[in-house]
Structure 1
Amino acid sequence: MSNQTIANRYAVALFQLAKEKHQLKKVNEELQVVKDVVQANPDFLKFISHPKITKQQKQDFIKKSFASLNETTLNTFLLLIESNRMGILVPMIDQFKSLVYDAEDMAEALVYSAQPLSDKEQNEIAKSFAKQVKKSKLEVINIVDSKLIGGVKIRIGDRIYDGTIKAQLDRLERQLVAGTR
């Protein structure tokens, strides 16, 4: 069985438990914080996966490191350690987030821009593109890319809306090369 399949199973189980306890939002927020910590500290997964460190030591480390997590989230990590599955942590977190977004009829929009967008601009993008992707709400994550001359590029799931000046110039170049206007 692939790691992604296993991660999906753990995510679904955690999703059902969190939903039953009315903790979807809290668990999702905590998981995103943990994901940020794991990605910012690559040695974390090396340590937690090291075969010479006992499961009890790993569990104690998790309990101390993430003492502020609620019981549902913390027990999930302890279960992953117990079953030697910490390698699926990030894919499981991503799948959990996807399940929460589907349940709440929302999606994540990565918005690339040359300058940081104001809250008003982010809200306008969220309202406009939520209709296009048939979701009730979009969570806008603004990523500043200094390589962009201007405009925005929006990625929602597997869809990309490219309204950057660079994309417009590239289209114009292709048209000129092809001999059409």
Structure 2
Amino acid sequence: MSQSIVAKRYAVALFDLGTEKSALAEIDAELRVIQEVFQENKEVNEFFNNPRISIDQKKQFIRDTFSEVSAETRNLLLLLADKRRINDFTDIVEEFTAMKNEARGIAEADVYSVRELTEDERKNIEEVFTRKLNKNTLRINNIIDPSIIGGLKIRIGNQIYDGTIGTQLSRLEQKLVTANK
């Protein structure tokens, strides 16, 4: 079974449980903190990937370390340790976040630009794309890319809106080449 299918199944179960208990925001916040721990702490990943450490030891570590999180989040981690799927955690968080955002009418956008966007530019992009995508909110993650000569490239989900000068020049070049044939 592919990683994304497995991650989606766990995320759907957690999303349904969070919806049922009206705890989506709490679970989402906890998942993000735990994801940050996994991403920034190499020792934690080595611990969970070490075959010499028993599953019981890993589960006890989860109980001790994440004692303050909700039962739903802790039980997810314990289940992942049991099934030897702790490495799927990041994918599960991404799927969960996507479902939560979809339910609330939120889209997340990576906006590539040559410099930091101003607040007005962010608002303009948000207005245009919330209408275009029929969403309530657009969360913008501005990524500085010095290779962009000018313009913007926006990635929302699996859609890319490329208005960079480099892309426009490439399109112009293609038109000129096909026109001269």
TM > 0.5: yes
Q: Which residue of 2 aligns with 1:177?
A: 177
Relative to structure 1, the CA distance from residue 6 to residue 166 in structure 2 (aligned partners, 3 Å threshold; closer, same or farther) is same
Relative to structure 1, the CA distance from residue 179 to residue 160 in structure 2 (aligned partners, 3 Å threshold; closer, same or farther) is same
Give the SS at the match of 1:111. Answer: strand
1:45/1:86 contact within 8 Å kept: no
Q: Which residue of 2 aligns with 1:27?
A: 27
Give the SS at the match of 1:100. Answer: helix
Give the SS at the match of 1:117. Answer: coil
C-alpha RMSD over aligned residues: 2.1
Give the SS at the match of 1:147. Answer: coil
Q: Which residue of 1 aligns with 2:154?
A: 154
- In the alignment, structure 1 segments of 5+ residues that lack a partner are none
What is the CA-CA distance between 1:143 and the residue it aligns to?
Answer: 0.9
The whole-number CA distance in structure 2 between the counterparts of 1:167 and 1:3 is 33
1:109/1:139 contact within 8 Å kept: yes
The whole-number CA distance in structure 2 between the counterparts of 1:150 and 1:86 is 41
What is the CA-CA distance between 1:114 and the residue it aligns to?
Answer: 0.7
Q: Which residue of 2 aligns with 1:39?
A: 39
Give the SS at the match of 2:122. Answer: helix
Q: Which residue of 1 aligns with 2:96?
A: 96
Q: Which residue of 1 aligns with 2:107?
A: 107
Alignment of 1:76-95 (within 5 A): 76-95=76-95
Higher mean alpha-carbon deviation, 102-111 vs 35-44, is at 35-44
Relative to structure 1, the CA distance from residue 56 to residue 99 in structure 2 (aligned partners, 3 Å threshold; closer, same or farther) is same
Amino acid at match of 1:16: D
> Does 2:89 match 1:72?
no
- In the alignment, structure 2 segments of 5+ residues that lack a partner are none
What is the CA-CA distance between 1:164 and the residue it aligns to?
Answer: 1.1
The whole-number CA distance in structure 1 between the counterparts of 2:81 and 2:63 is 12
> Does 2:61 match 1:54?
no
Relative to structure 1, the CA distance from residue 123 to residue 72 in structure 2 (aligned partners, 3 Å threshold; closer, same or farther) is farther
Higher mean alpha-carbon deviation, 39-48 vs 126-135, is at 39-48
Higher mean alpha-carbon deviation, 118-127 vs 86-95, is at 118-127
What is the CA-CA distance between 1:19 and the residue it aligns to?
Answer: 1.4
Amino acid at match of 2:79: L
The whole-number CA distance in structure 2 between the counterparts of 1:33 and 1:172 is 46
What is the CA-CA distance between 1:24 and the residue it aligns to?
Answer: 1.2
Relative to structure 1, the CA distance from residue 54 to residue 20 in structure 2 (aligned partners, 3 Å threshold; closer, same or farther) is same
